[in-house]
């Protein structure tokens, strides 16, 4: 912006920087800057301006490839580019259980947590904690309820699952591996109630010792 002249306001409280007869930037007695412009920033410029278009924006513009830096004691606290907001501090809200990330109609995309990341509900009431190849649930002393009504107990080596498809009669080692995984990964203990492939005549309770190829089942027959 080319400044033609500087004027004092009628009250003397504001110094006005004018382009022609119209004030574009004013400085009040308290040191505040007042932007009176009405045009958008030039994309290639480093600019702060008021854009009085339909969105009525206060613009802070940098050209392509540049970033906005917000620093504390000359140390970068936040860096905003066209693709990322990079923070070197925690995000803390002013009140608990009050604010959202996203909305019911516009959600965020992916959430990426690092090694040993924790999702903590209500100050530790229930937690989900990551370790290498492991996700640990803690708390929830009354259990974990999923929307199909299956409840997983919190005790070690107890798993409650339900196969999504019928299985041949009786189930084979290969079929159980394909449905639930290798026993060495599944671990020892009860694994599933498995429906059969004979129109619901029989069901199987399935468990494993955690050793490869060691699946066991007990046959349950439908009551008549």
Is residue 108 one of the residues assigned to a domain?
A: no
178: Cβ contacts below 8 Å, ≥ 6 apart: none
Of residues 149 and 91, more confidence is placed in 91
* Maximal CA-CA distance, the chain: 99
Q: Which of 29-43, 102-116, 148-162 has the lowest mean pLDDT?
A: 148-162
Judgement on whether residues 152 and 173 belong to the same structural domain of the protein: yes
- Residues 86, 136: one domain? no
Q: Domain range spanning residue 49?
A: 5-61
Q: Is residue 114 part of a domain?
A: no
**168 in a structural domain:** yes
> To which residue do tokens 């970033």 refer?
67
- Local structure of residue 183 (DSSP, 8 states): H
**Same domain assignment for residues 83 and 135:** no
Q: SS3 for 174?
A: helix
pLDDT score at 1 = 42
Residue 100 CB contacts under 8 Å (≥ 6 apart), including other chains: none
Structure confidence at residue 128 (pLDDT): 94
Q: Please give the model's pTM, rounded to 2 decimal places.
A: 0.57
What pLDDT score was predicted for residue 195?
76
Residue 110, in any domain of the structure: no
Same domain, 165 and 181: yes
Residue 118 located in a structural domain: no
* Same-domain status, 81 and 55: no
Number of structural domains found in the chain: 3
Residue with token string 């005549």: 201
Which of 103-112, 199-208, 211-220 bottoms out in mean pLDDT, i.e. has the lowest? 199-208
What confidence score (pLDDT) does residue 112 get? 94
Mean pLDDT of the region 107-136 = 93
Distance CA 203, CA 182 (A): 21
User: Within this chain, do residues 138 and 215 fall inside the same structural domain, yes or no?
Assistant: yes
113 occurs within a structural domain: no
Helix (H) or strand (E) holding 206: strand 202-208
Residue 104 lies in a domain: no
29 and 84: one domain?
Answer: no
Is the separation of the CB atoms in 77 and 71 below 8 Å?
yes
Residue 178 domain-assigned (yes or no): yes
């Amino acid at each position: 912006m080319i400044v033609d002249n500087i004027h004092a306001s009628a009250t003397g409280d504001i110094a006005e920087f004018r382009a022609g007869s119209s004030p574009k930037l004013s400085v009040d007695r308290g040191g505040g800057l007042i932007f009176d412009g009405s045009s958008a920033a030039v994309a290639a410029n480093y600019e702060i301006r008021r854009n009085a278009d339909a969105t009525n924006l206060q613009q802070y513009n940098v050209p392509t490839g540049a970033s906005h830096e917000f620093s504390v004691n000359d140390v970068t606290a936040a860096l905003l580019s066209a693709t990322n907001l990079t923070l070197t501090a925690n995000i803390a809200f002013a009140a608990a259980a009050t604010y959202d990330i996203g909305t019911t109609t516009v959600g965020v995309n992916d959430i990426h947590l690092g090694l040993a990341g924790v999702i903590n509900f209500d100050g530790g009431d229930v937690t989900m904690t990551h370790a290498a190849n492991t996700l640990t649930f803690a708390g929830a002393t009354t259990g974990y309820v999923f929307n199909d009504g299956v409840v997983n107990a919190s005790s070690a080596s107890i798993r409650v699952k339900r196969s999504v498809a019928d299985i041949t009669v009786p189930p084979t080692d290969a079929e159980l591996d394909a449905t639930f995984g290798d026993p060495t990964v599944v671990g020892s203990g009860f694994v599933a109630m498995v429906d059969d492939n004979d129109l619901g005549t029989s069901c199987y309770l399935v468990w494993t010792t955690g050793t490869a190829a060691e699946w066991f089942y007990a046959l349950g027959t439908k009551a008549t």
